[in-house]
Amino acid sequence: MGSVGAKEVPVLLSPEGLRIDGRKLDELRPLRIQAGALHQADGSAFVEWGANKVMAAVYGPREVHPRHLQQNDKAVIQCRYNMAAFSVDERKRPGIDRRSQEISKVIGEAFESVVFAEEFPRTSIDIYIEVLQANAGTRCAGLVAASVALADAGIPMVDLLPAVAVGKVGGAIALDLKKEEDNYGEADLPMALVPQSGRLVLLQMEGHMSEDELARALDLGVKGCRDIYETMKQALRERYAIEPAHGESA
């Protein structure tokens, strides 16, 4: 522990350039994805990513509730992100707060840019994301889980949406922040990528970094997303026991 004023903060970067959990700056936390984890839902996925545990369930296309949200030319995409009361060290107040409302909105909007919603007018595609254990980057873990759940539900999409948070810790740009890095680091930059087009469909930033650092952070995040994309595709292959196409990496 180092000390800044009266507040004890952990040393986020060792002199050798290793992080609090021994990772390199460009290293992801271990990621495991199980597609089709729930039987009730039309599509589902369970994601364990570092100490995050996130379940996503997708229902639809189905009747719109509440009815007045129905659109005649396309499906509405409704997303609900929720953190369980037991998902954090100190019990979180149960229920929807401003943070989960904001995260639900940005995740829903990210999916609006990849789902072929116009194929299902007057219906709803409902995405539920439940964070069972949280350790930073849960909106990204939620996006990854929901993406695989949407694919598992057979919802047509331009592409899956890998996501990761990059940030600045101990003065260095780092991939996939864990809780201490998110809390005590200088910046946190969650992003979601459409791999085939290279388009970012979610980008948020807390904290501060220079223009040059931002460019490097984006580059690192895009590379991270491409690795996560492979794990997502692998989870779907395992679910449907599809062999990788010839020449394609697993």
Residues that bind ligand ADP (CB under 6 A): 88, 90, 92, 99, 134-139, 165, 179, 182, 188, 190
Tell me which residue has its CB nearest to ligand ADP: 138
Q: Minimum CB separation from ligand ADP for residue 249, in Å?
A: 28
Q: Minimum CB separation from ligand ADP for residue 116, in Å?
A: 27
Which residue, 76 or 191, has its beta carbon nearer to ligand ADP?
191
Q: Minimum CB separation from ligand ADP for residue 130, in Å?
A: 13
DSSP per-residue string spanning the chain: -EEETTEEE---B-TTS-BTTS--TTPPPPEEEEET--SSSSEEEEEEETTEEEEEEEEEEE--SSGGG--SSS-EEEEEEEE-TTSSSSPPPPS--HHHHHHHHHHHHHHHTTB-GGGSTT-EEEEEEEEEE-SS-HHHHHHHHHHHHHHHTT--BSS---EEEEEEETTEEEES--HHHHHHSSEEEEEEEETTTTEEEEE--EE---HHHHHHHHHHHHHHHHHHHHHHHHHHHHHHTPPPPTT---
Which residue, 152 or 188, has its beta carbon nearer to ligand ADP?
188
Which residue, 64 or 141, has its beta carbon nearer to ligand ADP?
141
Q: Minimum CB separation from ligand ADP for residue 120, in Å?
A: 29
Q: Minimum CB separation from ligand ADP for residue 91, in Å?
A: 8
Which residue, 190 or 195, has its beta carbon nearer to ligand ADP?
190
Which residue, 69 or 85, has its beta carbon nearer to ligand ADP?
85
